[in-house]
Every structure is written in structure tokens, then in C-alpha cells.
Amino acid sequence: MTRVAIVGVGQTKFDEHWERSLRDLSTEAGAAALHDAKLGGEHVQALFVGNMSSGRFVGQEHMAALAADAAGLNPIPATRCEAACASGALAFASAYNAIKSGKYDIVVAAGAEKMTDLKGTDAIATLMGAGDQEWESAIGLTFTGLYALIARAHMQKYGTTREQMAMVSVNNHRNGVHNPYAQFRKEISIKDVLNSSMIADPLTLLDCSPITDGAAAVVLVSEKFAKNFPNPVWVLGVGQASDTLALHDRENITEMKATKAAAQAAYREAGLGPQDMNLAEVHDCFSINEIIAVEDLGFCRKGEGGKFVEQGSIAVGGKLPVNATGGLKSIGHPVGATGIRQIADIVRQLRGGLPEPIQVKGARRGIALNIGGSGATAVVTILGKE
């Protein structure tokens, strides 16, 4: 089977785009990715779009057809991919597999979400569609509540502290200052996190990723076409796995089995291990999730994620820079777009040329983790340079 490379990336600024439509955002990101690849839309053979809930957020279903039409890509096949907050990475995995199979040579994977048209409570209710409707959302649970349960269990079992969780947010905001695409380009302190409004104990407002509008896209090509592009980044491995939808059905809520299984599959395909990674983009929808992610991806032992953060290991220049461009916490989290944005940021890191404070020097390989819901879906992608 052919190898697959990424030759173009693009995204909108992640923000509250009151004056722009979902159509506008998806078109801008796709055009930016094609421009980056120096490729005309007439060469694209298929489109995969990650989108969680455009029907509820803006009343627009049939999202993939909308994106293809707006971008002038008709009549190519266009497919919407939905896996809650992992929709973007699922679209990427689908595009990757479509080329890997030999069916296509040039494919665009994109993700888009327009969330701020709904009031906060309605947006929260829509996001809870990614949980178990019967056993979680129907009784009033929110994702902040679910991740608060995870945080409390991790604190009790392993001694993880509120300050260690706050350090995740501090690190990611410090990085996001230098990212022009980020929603919140402002440094914060541990004190700021601890003293911000309590949402679901122990998680405060600054432990939580925001409601965001935005889109991102990448261009993938087969190996025979990659030679036509000057700086390809290769897809070394992709893994996807599932777990129970409801949190209460899991044996251990301080780990995510889907992440572990997806990571093992991606490492196996790449022929690499955690020790071979130079940076990571992980799904910090809530600060506790970054701590659990570095454990489940194999960068430290189980229960030592808080200490890994406290020791400065996730900082740019640390043992393993994590979310060097700001993560979901600073960049924002338009749920359908996040998985694609993570991959685009790793591509930018491996190419080099990001602002010096967030450029991981000498990076050759990176790993992305995109999670749906409270961990029912996980997609892990490993990228590398020749």
C-alpha cells in the first residue's frame, strides 16, 4: 500500500465569529490549505469533513456537500465524519485510509464548527449529545461534571493536585500567546486558574476549553504525488479505538482505554514508540485530560502525569513539549475542527518556522491525540519527516 504525505495545511483564526457563517469558515480553511500546497481545487479527488453537530449549532445538516459546493469541488465525493470532538481526526483517518487503499491520490481532510450562534446553555446541551443521553445528559450531567469526576478520582488515587492541573492551563496559555490563530492570546497564572469561577469542583473556568468557531484543513497525497511537493510531512501511523459511551460503565475512570488502544495501533504501524516522539498535541478539553493523556500515550507512568507537568516536562524545551501552540485551552475548541488543527500544527512544527518561543527545535516526529466525548472515541496520529 502507498505511503501518504501531508502537503498543505490551512485554518481560520479560532474565535467567536459572529459575522461569519459555517460556509465562510470552511471555505477559508480549505482555500488556505490548497494555497499552501500550491494546488488547484480541480486536482482534489475526495473530501472528508469532520463536524459534530452543525444541525443543532446552526441548523445546517449535509455539511460535506455544503463544503464541497462552497469550495467549487463538485462533483467529487464529499463525506461528513462524526465522532463528537474527535470528528476532525476521524475525517483525517478516513482520508488517509482512502489514499492508503489506492482509491485516491489527492484528498482534502477538513473540520469545521460554528458554535457561538447558540447561547451558552444550549451549546452545553448540544455538546452533551456526545455523552450518554439516557444515563448522563438526561439527569443534568455536563462534560465539565464528567471530567470533574475523572479529576477527583485521579486526585484521590494518585495524589494529583489542583496546582498541577492549573499548570496545564498556564503552560498552554503561555504558548498560545505566540499563535496568531489562537482565541485567547493571554498568559495566566496558577493563582488565576485556582481563583476563577468554579464550574464543577475541582474544575474552574480556566481549567476548561472555550466555545469556539473555526475551521481547519489539510491536503493529503499518495507517495507517487508527494515527490512533486517540496516539503512533505509523512503520515507514519494512525490508530482509532472506542470505549463505553457512559463514564460509569468503565472499570477505571482515571485512564482512557480508547487512547491506549489507539496509541498502540499508531505506534505499531509507525514502528515507533513514545520515546521517539519530539512533541505532542493532546486533547486538553479540560486540564485533567492533558495529565491523563501524557500517561496513556506512554510518556510517563500511570499516576505520574501531574508530576510530569510540575517538572516542566511539557514546556517547549522540556522533555516532551505538549500543546506547544496553545492546545484547546488557548487556541479554542471548535469541536469538529480541533483534530485537523492539531495535525496542521504538528506539520508546521516539523517544517520549522513557527515563532521561536513555540518552535520545537529539531523536531522530526510528532503525535496527535483527538478524543470524542469523555473518551468513547480516540484517534491517534503520528507524523514525521524523512
Rounded mean pLDDT, 177-206: 98
Rounded mean pLDDT, 201-217: 98
353 compared with 171, residue with greater pLDDT: 171
Condensed to tens digits (0 to 9), the pLDDT of residues 218-266 reads 999 999 999 999 999 999 999 999 999 999 999 999 999 999 999 999 9
Write out the catalytic residue numbers. 85, 333
Question: Band of the pLDDT at 326, cuts 50, 70, 90?
Answer: very high
Rounded mean pLDDT, 336-355: 97
Question: Band of the pLDDT at 103, cuts 50, 70, 90?
Answer: very high
Condensed to tens digits (0 to 9), the pLDDT of residues 41-77 reads 999 999 999 999 999 999 999 999 999 999 999 999 9
Pick the range with the lowest mean pLDDT from 52-61, 121-130, 188-197, 206-215. 121-130
Among residues 69, 77, 70, 72, the alpha carbon closest in space to that of 98 is found at 77
Question: Band of the pLDDT at 1, cuts 50, 70, 90?
Answer: confident
Mean pLDDT score across all residues of the chain: 97
Give pLDDT, residue 121: 85
Task: Give the global pTM.
Answer: 0.97
Whether the predicted pLDDT of 120 surpasses 80: no
- Measured at the alpha carbon of residue 331, what is the angle toward residues 330 and 332, in degrees to the nearest 5? 95
334 compared with 119, residue with greater pLDDT: 334
Give pLDDT, residue 276: 98
Question: Band of the pLDDT at 386, cuts 50, 70, 90?
Answer: confident
Pick the range with the lowest mean pLDDT from 223-232, 327-336, 363-372. 223-232
Whether the predicted pLDDT of 359 surpasses 90: yes
Domains (ranges, CATH) in the chain? 4-119+212-233 (3.40.47.10), 132-210+236-384 (3.40.47.10)
Give pLDDT, residue 295: 98
Percent of the chain at pLDDT exceeding 70? 100
